[in-house]
Structures are given as structure tokens and as C-alpha cells.
């Protein structure tokens, strides 16, 4: 009888461990957002980040952490980009069909017009800076298919300055990959971003 009790105790223990492991695995699964363009406190992305200027590779954690009232009275979400050596802050808000990213000086640095439609084009952060949706197709990343993803191409230029960016975007998830090159009297940025994991509201 004592041996039967021991067997039952160990069986319950292993079942409990298995249940805990499954719960942890489920908690770590990628979850899509309800919003077409995710912008909710608690949203999280992790990207592999390759800096070709410094010949380094690392990871960047992106978290939406709080709300902020901007000088114009608009309520924006606070996005934190945690690099290994520093943290960048963006303020993000949506008015009608337009999503805007602002830096800490409240300058517009990126814009999306949603829903994305192939061949749509809009002005970005300055006069000679525009973004165009040039393709829509299934994008495969880390063996996962993201159906109906959109390719965005940015081209901007002014005196002794230019910027080129290509980005794959998937609705309800966000940016999948990004190539960005920026020149301002010398190289400013030459980087590649690739989505590793995400957990969205």
C-alpha cells in the first residue's frame, strides 16, 4: 500500500511539473495585437540589431511603457528602445489614418498611413522625404509565414543629407525587418533589424 501511495505522489508531482512547463511555454508564445498598428501600453518586441558601421550585432528590446501628454495636447504612447549601451525614447500617436513617431525633441521622425495599401505614398518627416508601399506578399521570417505583409520604401534627401529605408510590416504585429542607411556629411546609420519575438495586447 505504501508503494502505491508513493507512486501516486510521484505521478502527481510529474503531472504538476508538466503543467507548469506548458504554462511557461504558452506564456512565451508570440501574440498578435488587436490593433492594426500596435500601440498599447504593455506591447513588447525584441529585435536582432546589426550595426554595420561598428561591425556589431546585438538585441534591442522595444517596450511601450506609459502615456504622455505632448506640448500640443495630444496623448501619445511612450516607446522605449533598449540598446545594450543606451535607451532611445519615441512618442507615438495616431490621428485618423496617420500614425506618427516623434523623438524627444518632438520632431516627427516616422509616419505610417494605415491601412497600408500597395502603391500608396505619403510625405514623411520633411519636404523631400517620402514613403511608398511598393509590395504586398507573404513574408517568411524564421520559418513563419506572415501573409499579406507590406514592403515600405523611404527615400529622403536634402543638402549633404540622404536617408534610405526598406521595411517589411505585418498588420497586428508591426515591423518585421528593416534596412536603414542615413548619411549627413558622413555616415550616421547603416543597420539591419529583424524581429525575434513579440507579445502584444
Condensed to tens digits (0 to 9), the pLDDT of residues 146-180 reads: 999 999 999 999 999 999 999 999 999 999 999 99
Condensed to tens digits (0 to 9), the pLDDT of residues 98-110 reads: 999 999 999 999 9
State the Cα–Cα distance between residues 65 and 43, nearest whole angstrom: 8
DSSP-H helix ranges across the chain = 2-27
Condensed to tens digits (0 to 9), the pLDDT of residues 101-145 reads: 999 999 999 999 999 999 999 999 888 999 999 999 999 999 999
Burial bucket for residue 186 (CB in 10 Å: 0-12, 13-18, 19+):
exposed
Reported as a pLDDT band with limits 50, 70 and 90, residue 15 is: very low
Contacts for 72 with CB less than 8 Å, ≥ 6 apart: none
State the Cα–Cα distance between residues 77 and 39, nearest whole angstrom: 7
**CB 196, CB 173: distance < 8 Å:** no
Q: Provide the residue count of the chain.
A: 201
Domain 31-199 has CATH 2.40.360: yes
Could you state, in order of their start, the residue ranges of all structural domains in the chain?
Answer: 1-30, 31-199
pLDDT at residue 42 in the model: 97
Amino acid at each position: 500500500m505504501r508503494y502505491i501511495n508513493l507512486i501516486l505522489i510521484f505521478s502527481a508531482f510529474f503531472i504538476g511539473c508538466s503543467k507548469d512547463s506548458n504554462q511557461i511555454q504558452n506564456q512565451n508564445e508570440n501574440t498578435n495585437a488587436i490593433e492594426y498598428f500596435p500601440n498599447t501600453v504593455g506591447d513588447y518586441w525584441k529585435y536582432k540589431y546589426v550595426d554595420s558601421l561598428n561591425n556589431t550585432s546585438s538585441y534591442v528590446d522595444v517596450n511601450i511603457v506609459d502615456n504622455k501628454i505632448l506640448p500640443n495636447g495630444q496623448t501619445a504612447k511612450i516607446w522605449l528602445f533598449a540598446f545594450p549601451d543606451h535607451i532611445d525614447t519615441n512618442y507615438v500617436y495616431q490621428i485618423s489614418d496617420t500614425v506618427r513617431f516623434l523623438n524627444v525633441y518632438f520632431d516627427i521622425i516616422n509616419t505610417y498611413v494605415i491601412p497600408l495599401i500597395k502603391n500608396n505614398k505619403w510625405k514623411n518627416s520633411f519636404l523631400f522625404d517620402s514613403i511608398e508601399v511598393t509590395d504586398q506578399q507573404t513574408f517568411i521570417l524564421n520559418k513563419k509565414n506572415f501573409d499579406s505583409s507590406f514592403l515600405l520604401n523611404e527615400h529622403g534627401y536634402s543638402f549633404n543629407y540622404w536617408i534610405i529605408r526598406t521595411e517589411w510590416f505585418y498588420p497586428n504585429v508591426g515591423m518585421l525587418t528593416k534596412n536603414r542607411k542615413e548619411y549627413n556629411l558622413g555616415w550616421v546609420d547603416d543597420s539591419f533589424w529583424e524581429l525575434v519575438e513579440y507579445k502584444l495586447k
